[in-house]
Structure 1
Amino acid sequence: MRSPLETRRDTGQPEPRPWKPSAVAELTAARARLSRMLEGLPEDALTRQHSPLMSPIVWDVAHLANYEEQWLLRALGAPALTDSAFDALYDAFRHPRASRSQLPLLTPEQAFAYAARVREASLEWLQQLPEDSPAPLLRGGFVFGMVAQHEQQHLETLAATLQLMTSHEYRPAALARPRPARAAQHEVFLPGGPVRLGSDAPWAYDNERPAHSVHVPDFLLDSHPVTNGDFAVFVDSGGYTDSRWWDPQGFAWIQSQGIRHPLFWLPQQGGTWLRRRFGWVEPLPKDEPVQHVCWYEADAYARWAGKRLPTEAEWEKAATGSDGRPRVYPWGDAAPDAGHANLGGDTWGPSPIGGYPAGQSVDGVWGLLGDVWEWTSSTFDGYFGFKSFPYREYSEVFFGTEYRVLRGGAWASAPVAVRNSFRNWDYPIRRQIFAGFRCARDAR
């Protein structure tokens, strides 16, 4: 993400960089992706509750429209398109996911029409807004970046819903993923020293702010995420039944749930693990990063391997690089493209490790962005000097020891919502998300 500031030739003062083209492009890309994902799904698939962990798909569609109406129209002075009853109906905090199917929701036809009407009004209103407004919501186009990222984050959630869906077969057309030669896992030494955490970029979220420096001791980090093949050794050696490797709460939880392998893995047939990936049942690819593991599973594997999960500061140190130069992405400041990382959702699964040499960090760490979210050992909290903006419910209400931080994005994450400083978080029992991990250890 480039800086929004450039220098005025006449005064030498910073001048806001035009942000409207980026806002239009990102909003348009998100809506096009929504259409691709849901095209052809019957009404029952859109309205059914496929899992108590997820909303009915039609709720998400109308929620996106309502969120956009609130922030890109009403908050910026435009007339409301609907009455405030929609605000309550599509409020994520008022209605838990498991109960949303019982609400008087818009039909799919009504929800899509609402989303189209709001988008048309938002783009029209955008043209009337000043590029150089000092208002906090408009500075650098922040609120438009917030809405575009919010929509893409919900599309990743919709991908998880579609993976959980069993009432209808969902087999999307998937882009080809690189099939590189076998990549060797090894450890990369990261020297200790200061690391810049966070971002003050225009579209950074409040939990990424303020940018600041912390000290990180020397450490070693795996060059690639842990693969299915690696994790299968842990499973086959009885890792899920040996309490030595597990956080006590995690072991009690997997015992109570009868969990013996990652979510969507299927029992071995002829000595080969299978997995379900949307409408496919296929042999488990050993060279892809393991996904659909919770924090407890990742932590147990790391202990079994004689290692640990990295802290989020260590993860960001590896992504930014040990040479002290700030970078937006592991490879530099150029926005991600298909050569850097597996992002955007159209591959419908992780790529084998070693598939994106252009995306490696300056220290030779691969795959830090894309493919799978990476669990860290850190709990979620605000940085020193944190200020909630523009509402507490995005970040602040989740601060505390209940949640663990994930970094890096997954194949289902959009480039607009992926950067070295981006922070995700979830409960340590969550498995439906597209999460994996890599291991670290102290350098002695």
Structure 2
Amino acid sequence: MISTWIWALTIAGIAALLVFDFVFHVRKAHVPTLREAALWSSLYVGIAIVFGLGVLVFGGPTMGSEYFAGYVTEKALSVDNLFVFLIIMSSFRVPREDQQKVLLFGIVFALIARTGFIFLGAALINSFAWVFYLFGLILLLTAGNMLRPEGEESHTGDNIVVRLARKVFHTSDSYDGDKLFTVIDGKRTMTPMLLVMVAIGGTDLLFALDSIPAIFGLTQNVFLVFTATAFSLLGLRQLYFLIDGLLDRLIYLSYGLAAILGFIGVKLVLHALHENNVPFINDGEPVPVVEISTGLSLTVILGVLVLTTLASLFSKRGRAQNAISNARRHATSYLDTEYTADAAERERIFGALLRERDQIIALGPKYPQLVRDEAQLVTLLEDALASHDQAVARGEAEPIGEPKIVRRR
């Protein structure tokens, strides 16, 4: 049993980290450098590991392994969630400088929402043993859904809440810095910044439906469930900017996560059978089945993640898909005059676009052909190059590389 003062200190520490993040990093809109993102992302992972070692020392090997299994699983699921956040922010054309504030809001909202789900789940588990069957079924269905191909349109921010907000409130088409409301023609108007926060918040609620059952499948200790979830969310903002360009590269991550969720779903069902009191299953008596240990769970989770990550990084198809997706996104961002007011950031985007072009060409004739087959993408790339050439002619940009974009034949 975890004492009240340990709960209080843990919650105070997590709240202090969120406040620190806002005051020193997010309050002033800026685009974090790769070094900044790497430094702070490593720091938050380090804090989570140190906390886990404390659990291991003072709580014993069982609690320690349960915490780390939960943390690793939740962190892996959060990386997959980042891809959806990227799509939502792209669909809302959130300026690069203001994306940090949107992400921090999403983290805080997710933490509050998941805390509610955690205590609700704990109450249900303590009262009804059949909830393990329900959680196991949810995870098995989620694992199956993750194996189905999905287009980006299935993750856009234009959900029912956003559509309702657009109808009820007068909404502007452009941002006013990071303000939620602005004044246009003397009328108070909602900006897209509030809408994108609503979209992120709504998506967070959906994520909790598979995230919370997954971690309850690894431990029923509410303190460990809460801390593993909280520490997996902390540092998510920095991780977004650190692996932004690699998200599309992890082409097999969804398969790995599906395997992990399926594995935990089976573990939950086996545990439910072991604790069974449902009248129509074995006459309400426990079923003698083999239960999966936490140590084995942690080994399987880490093994699957390492395998799928390495397979993604060394896959030629993964490199091509990553380069093509990032080229499309960077070309769109470069042509969007409202995407960023930072000239250095625009040059960074254009430089990344040229590197992606060179990667596609270097992969061989098969992959440039994929680009040429997408007329819209080719047009985007050519328009971005033409726009940069015009900026160079006006003296607003430095010439970079040769205009050898993959063209249609």
TM-score (norm 1): 0.22
- Which structure's residues are more often helix, by fraction? 2
| Higher-RCO chain (CA-CA 8 Å, sequence separation at least 6) | 2
When Rg is computed on C-alpha atoms for both structures, the one with the higher figure is: 2
